[in-house]
Amino acid sequence: MIKQMTQRTKNKYSGLLSKIQTAHAKIGIVGLGYVGLPLAALAAKKGFSVLGIDIDGAKVAKISKGDSHIQDLSSDDLKALIVSKRLSATTNWDMARECDILILCVPTPFNRNREPDLTPVITATREISSRLRKDQLIILESTTYPGTTQELMLPMLEESGLTVGRDFFLGYSPERVDPGNTNFKVQDIPKVIGGTTLGCRDLAAAFYQQIVPSIALVSSTQAAELSKLLENIFRNVNIALVNELAMLCDRMKVNVWEVIEAAATKPFGFMSFSPGPGVGGHCIPVDPVYLSWKAKEYDFYTNFIDLAAEVNSNMPYFVVRKLQRLLYQRRQNFPGKKVLVLGITFKKNIDDMRNSSALKFLEIMNDEAIAFNYHDPFVPEIRLNGQRLKSVELTEKILSRAACVLIHTDHDNYDWKWIVKHSRLVFDTRNATKKVKNGLGKIYRL
Ligand code: SAJ
């Protein structure tokens, strides 16, 4: 990449560029969550001196002791970086001035009206702007709508009186961290990079190409922002497609899982997705909202994206209706007899509850006066409608007493054969019991 860099960039920014290329640049990572902390550790492992900045004093204190709260970074690895002073953490924004590169990895949720909430980005940008100095490179990694870097961050940073592309530099490179994915960790994933100017992009590229396997340069920060949204909206709409198919198959009495498995034998031109009880997490249900919200500014209505969101939002209601039908058909709809819900996190093998469809599903069960309890090895307790609910102990007795065992999240550490054996009725929304050979008569699937 460097060789492609314009000679102008090499001459004009040789100071910052050479600091980056020789790993003498001090890296500041703003936001030490599932994106920021692994990125901070990676940059430190690659030889950079890294400062983590977070507003959460308790989190900073834990990190400073080498205690990792992130599944993808072991405390041993973190402790080694802290002891070697390669990595440190602070809540003191004034230390941002000593960083040559500042990378924002802060949350971009949606608010109660399901609109983008850029408060964390705005707050961090304001703190940086008041301390901005010459030869600093600012990069946003948070997933957001196209235009955030250019239209929101740039004016705030230029309030410092410094000029982008000359005094300071501004780029966008979307985070692609998939928490819990052991095959693709942050160091294995290519980075898309856009800059406010070519020089800004080249400087950001000079940094990333030292820590990830490959980089993909695009012509603007908007293109980089939109590429990330496309990645996740692609998932969202394809999940909605199979969810819609699942509801049709239910009416046609066709096994949707068999249909998808058969289609997946096509060696090209098909990518399988699984229907489920809903789409949760901090990315997939949220990212489409960011684009459809921004598109309206251009009098453009993203009907296709909005329909996918409607289908996915409907899944918890569909699952409850099908459960009610099963309880009635199997004569298990006794008042007070509890449904046992297995797994309530938004996807398997992690403890993340953000936007989990289980929360909506349990709320609807409450409204429908369906008695339930839940078990989730990753979630000892939840609050629902102001009530505290604890995960029950998973025993043969609790299984056999349940009116129905409903599989919401298919954690790998469940013993499905044992669960089916001791249940009277199983409603499997994840095809988790596909390998179970006995008790098939009591298993119903989405
Ligand atoms: N889901 C389905 N059917 C599917 C796949 C997922 O119902 O076929 C549901 C899951 O149960 C969950 C939700 O969708 O409720 C989101 O699942 P996800 O597998 O997409 O997991 P996320 O939210 O962790 O998505 C992340 C994203 N990573 C980033 O944004 C950097 C996404 O881009 C990744 O593609 C995804 O992980 C992944 O591949 O695991």
Give, for all 446 residues of the chain, the pLDDT tens digit: 445 565 666 666 778 999 999 999 999 999 999 999 999 999 999 999 999 999 999 999 999 999 998 888 999 999 999 999 999 999 999 999 999 999 999 999 988 888 999 999 999 999 999 999 999 999 999 999 999 999 999 999 999 999 999 999 999 999 998 877 889 988 899 999 999 999 999 999 999 999 999 999 999 999 999 999 999 999 999 999 999 999 999 999 999 999 999 999 999 999 999 999 999 998 999 999 999 999 999 999 999 999 999 999 999 999 999 999 999 998 887 777 899 999 999 999 988 999 999 999 999 999 999 999 999 999 999 999 889 999 999 999 999 999 999 999 999 999 999 999 999 999 999 999 999 999 999 999 99
Residue with CA closest to ligand 1 atom 34: 178
**C-alpha to C-alpha distance for 66 and 62, rounded to whole angstroms:** 7
Q: Name the pairing type of β-strands 387-390 and 381-384.
A: antiparallel
For residue 417, CA distances in Å to 369, 399, 420, 426 come to 30, 12, 5, 11
**Could you tell me which residues come within 8 angstroms of residue 79 by beta carbon, excluding any fewer than 6 positions away?**
65, 66, 67
CA of 149 to the centre of ligand 1 (A): 25
**C-alpha to C-alpha distance for 180 and 91, rounded to whole angstroms:** 27
Same domain as 349, residue 215: no
CA-CA-CA-CA torsion sign (108, 206, 29, 138): negative
**C-alpha to C-alpha distance for 142 and 39, rounded to whole angstroms:** 13
CA of 331 to the centre of ligand 1 (A): 36
CA of 312 to the centre of ligand 1 (A): 13
141 found inside a domain: yes
Of 160, 193, 219, the last residue of a domain is: 219
CA of 280 to the centre of ligand 1 (A): 8
CA-wise closest residue to 322 among 186, 428, 193, 241:
428
93 found inside a domain: yes
**C-alpha to C-alpha distance for 391 and 373, rounded to whole angstroms:** 7
Furthest-apart CA atoms within the chain: distance in Å: 79
The residue segments making up the domain with residue 156 are 7-219
Q: What local confidence, expressed as pLDDT, does residue 1 receive? A: 46
CA of 414 to the centre of ligand 1 (A): 20
For residue 122, CA distances in Å to 14, 39, 79, 185 come to 30, 21, 31, 28
CA of 48 to the centre of ligand 1 (A): 31
Which ligand 1 atom lies nearest to the CA of residue 231? 33
Same domain as 329, residue 428: yes
Is 296 exposed, middle or buried (CB count within 10 Å of its CB: 0-12, 13-18, 19+)?
exposed
The answer to whether the CB of 25 falls within 8 A of the CB of 19 is: yes
Which ligand 1 atom lies nearest to the CA of residue 243? 7
380 found inside a domain: yes
**C-alpha to C-alpha distance for 332 and 275, rounded to whole angstroms:** 25
The answer to whether the CB of 338 falls within 8 A of the CB of 425 is: no
Same domain as 98, residue 183: yes
Residue with CA closest to ligand 1 atom 32: 232
Same domain as 165, residue 72: yes
Same domain as 328, residue 214: no
Dihedral of CA atoms 7, 12, 14, 15 in degrees, nearest 10, equals -170
Same domain as 269, residue 204: no
CA–CA–CA angle 414, 415, 420 (5° rounding): 110
236 found inside a domain: no
pTM: 0.92
Same domain as 273, residue 181: no
Residue with CA closest to ligand 1 atom 24: 178
259 found inside a domain: no
**C-alpha to C-alpha distance for 246 and 257, rounded to whole angstroms:** 8
* CATH code for the domain of 331: 3.40.50.720
Which ligand 1 atom lies nearest to the CA of residue 143? 30
**C-alpha to C-alpha distance for 170 and 21, rounded to whole angstroms:** 18
Residue with CA closest to ligand 1 atom 13: 279
CA of 223 to the centre of ligand 1 (A): 22
153 found inside a domain: yes
Catalytically active residues are 283
Element holding 140 (H helix, E strand)? strand 136-140
Residue with CA closest to ligand 1 atom 9: 279
Q: What is the best residue among 279, 344, 352, 445 to mutate for testing ligand 1's pocket, by most ligand atoms within 8 Å of CB?
A: 279
- Count of domains observed in the chain: 2
The answer to whether the CB of 258 falls within 8 A of the CB of 264 is: no
Residue with CA closest to ligand 1 atom 29: 176
Q: What is the best residue among 283, 345, 431 to mutate for testing ligand 1's pocket, by most ligand atoms within 8 Å of CB?
A: 283
CA-CA-CA-CA torsion sign (83, 88, 89, 90): positive
Ligand 1 binding pocket (C-beta < 6 A) is 175-178, 181, 231-232, 235, 239, 273-274, 276, 279-281, 283-284, 346-347
Which ligand 1 atom lies nearest to the CA of residue 281? 23
Same domain as 313, residue 203: no
Please identify which residue in the block is written with the tokens 């983008």: 116
247 found inside a domain: no
CA-wise closest residue to 349 among 182, 208, 234:
182
Same domain as 70, residue 172: yes
255 found inside a domain: no
Q: What local confidence, expressed as pLDDT, does residue 8 receive? A: 64
Of 184, 219, 254, the last residue of a domain is: 219
Same domain as 284, residue 192: no
Same domain as 274, residue 185: no
The answer to whether the CB of 341 falls within 8 A of the CB of 408 is: yes
Of 187, 203, 219, the last residue of a domain is: 219
**C-alpha to C-alpha distance for 18 and 151, rounded to whole angstroms:** 30
Same domain as 357, residue 429: yes
